[in-house]
Amino acid sequence: MKLSRRDLLKAGVFAGAATALPLQRMVSGIDGFSRRMPTSKLPAPFTVPFARPKGATPVATTATTDYYRIDMRPAQLEILPGYKTVTYAYNGQVPGPTIRVAQGREAVVRHTNMLPKVHDRLGYEPWTSVHLHGSASLPQYDGYASDITRPGESKDYRYPDFQSSRTLWYHDHGVHHTAQNAYQGLLAMYIMTDPIEQALNLPSGEFDVPLMIGDAMFERDGQLLFTLDDESGMWGDVFVVNGRPWPNMQVKRRKYRFRVLDNCISRSLDWRLSNNAPFHVIATDGGLTDAPIEVTHIRHGNAERYEVIIDFANYSVGTKLQLMNDSPPNNRDDVNMDRIMQFEVVGDSFPTADNNMPAVLNPNNPVMALQESDAVATRNFRFRRQNGQWTINGTTWADVVASNYEFTLANPVKDSVEIWTVENPSGGWFHPVHIHLVDFKILDRNGLPPHPWERGPKDVVYLGEVETVRLLMRFEGRGKYMMHCHNLVHEDHDMMGQFEVIDPAQAGDSPFAVPARPIAQMGPLVP
């Protein structure tokens, strides 16, 4: 090779130009990774004490209804020790206050958006919409993405609470900003009980523990760092359980009921105990299974809830067990993302009355009693990235908007039973598919029986890479409801659609029937 210095200099001008911009983008570009707090500054796993979400207290109760006020506003909270992180919080808490209700009592929650007009770092207007995930609410109270509450507005959501006992959660669903809003803290649990569950005498009180597992990434100043990763998702480098990074939970030598929610924006989990000991699934999204199901791990998609019993009776005091994460494919992993939290066995005394796991739970759940032969129709839904967009059957929420919210992907008749086949043809990503309004039964996955842990009533199904899953469901209720991917970045980038349950006798309510109003125009919460 005969290159003179002059030639090299000229070629260097090109080489520098060609590589400098991509290099700059890679190391300090628009995804902001350069601002990320280094691993060395993050707390070591299992050094922060575990915490439980606080409960919500009704502001009023009547013979039939409990009333709550929840304000969404910024709050400075200590997530990482020594740092104050600005969050968006329900009533100043992340996770927000847990609402506990009994079947048959209606709840009315006044959600008030007291967030700033514009997010100071991300530059968007934080409008909100609150979805009570797992509730068969009327369309106008279901958190329809475009039924937004802007800063300075308020809306009363009515929750019927007629369904079976279950772990629900309420979280933001505001169109195109769900990921940002939920990431910053707009999420909380909502736990409903019923007589069937109460008769089982399952672990309760301090032994009934929500585990809201999220992930986050922080800037060097302790503020939340948000990235979109080419609209694929948001993957953090810190596991945050109930608002604490990789916490250590002291447990007594008995049975615990854990209500495990994957509230990560995009990350799916495959979790297990570090000693691979078996534990039991007692409930899924839609409530109790017919009997405890023994498993050693759970592949857990976003928004799925699994209730499990873990028995620490056989461990000696001082034993430390970790909740590990064998990350499913197509997540972005980082140091310490293979571990979620730790259980440390202590020798404290404990009550024994509810140290119990019955052999039979709820064998009469109507969803699980459905048979394939009950179905009157089969519909297919293809979830895929197409022409740069996240689509369902080639359509996005933009098509719904363009149709003035008339376009639907399906029109099942009220009380009919249908089989919905959801398909992900890609090997490059997974989709946790959520169907509003209904509970469903997973019939099969790529022609094989569902995984052991998902043999209960569900409202989210993990649609893995190159998977086709058949779901069986009955459509009770009427009106328009959403279905979407619960990877919230996919959702925000329009992987949403709607279906309308048709009642020949009566039109369904509009999702916009009860719009948010300025705070000053709101009447009294309690009539």
List residues binding another protein (CB under 8 A): 1-3, 6-23, 25-26, 29-31, 122-125, 127, 146, 148, 175-176, 227-231, 384-389, 396-398, 401-402, 426, 428, 492-494
Nearer to another protein, 13 or 51 (CB): 13
Q: Which of 413, 418, 411 is nearest to 377 (CA)?
A: 418
Q: Give the C-alpha separation, 127 to 496, whole Å.
A: 18
Q: Give the C-alpha separation, 245 to 449, whole Å.
A: 36
Nearer to another protein, 42 or 145 (CB): 145
CB of 494 to another protein, least distance (A): 6
Q: Are 370 and 209 in contact (CB under 8 A)?
A: no
Strand order in the sheet with 297-300: 48-49, 247-251, 339-345, 320-325, 269-273, 297-300
Bridge partners, 305 (sequence order): 261
Nearer to another protein, 9 or 317 (CB): 9
CB of 190 to another protein, least distance (A): 28
Nearer to another protein, 237 or 418 (CB): 237
Q: Are 257 and 208 in contact (CB under 8 A)?
A: yes
* Other residues' Cβ atoms within 10 Å of the Cβ of residue 26: 12
CA 183 to chain centre: 10
CB of 382 to another protein, least distance (A): 12
Q: Which of 355, 204, 362, 366 is nearest to 282 (CA)?
A: 362
Nearer to another protein, 29 or 347 (CB): 29
Task: Let me know how long the chain is.
Answer: 527
CB of 483 to another protein, least distance (A): 18
* Other residues' Cβ atoms within 10 Å of the Cβ of residue 219: 17
Token couple for 355: 């140290």
CB of 221 to another protein, least distance (A): 21
CB of 523 to another protein, least distance (A): 24
Q: Give the C-alpha separation, 250 to 343, whole Å.
A: 6
- CA angle 462/390/420 to nearest 5° reads 45
CA distances from 335 to 44, 119, 232, 338, 428 (A): 11, 30, 20, 8, 22
Nearer to another protein, 109 or 175 (CB): 175
Nearer to another protein, 278 or 428 (CB): 428
Beta-strand ranges (E) seen in 147-223 are 153-159, 166-172, 187-193, 208-216
Nearer to another protein, 213 or 217 (CB): 217
State yes or no: cis peptide before 38, omega within 30 of 0.
no
Nearer to another protein, 20 or 59 (CB): 20
Cα within 13 Å of Cα(64), Cβ side: 7
3 state SS for 53-90: CCECCCCEECCCEEEEEEEEEEEEECCCCCCCEEEEEE
CB of 18 to another protein, least distance (A): 5
CB of 399 to another protein, least distance (A): 11
Q: Give the C-alpha separation, 116 to 429, whole Å.
A: 34
CB of 516 to another protein, least distance (A): 12
Nearer to another protein, 17 or 63 (CB): 17
User: Quick one: DSSP state of residue 176?
Assistant: T
CB of 315 to another protein, least distance (A): 42
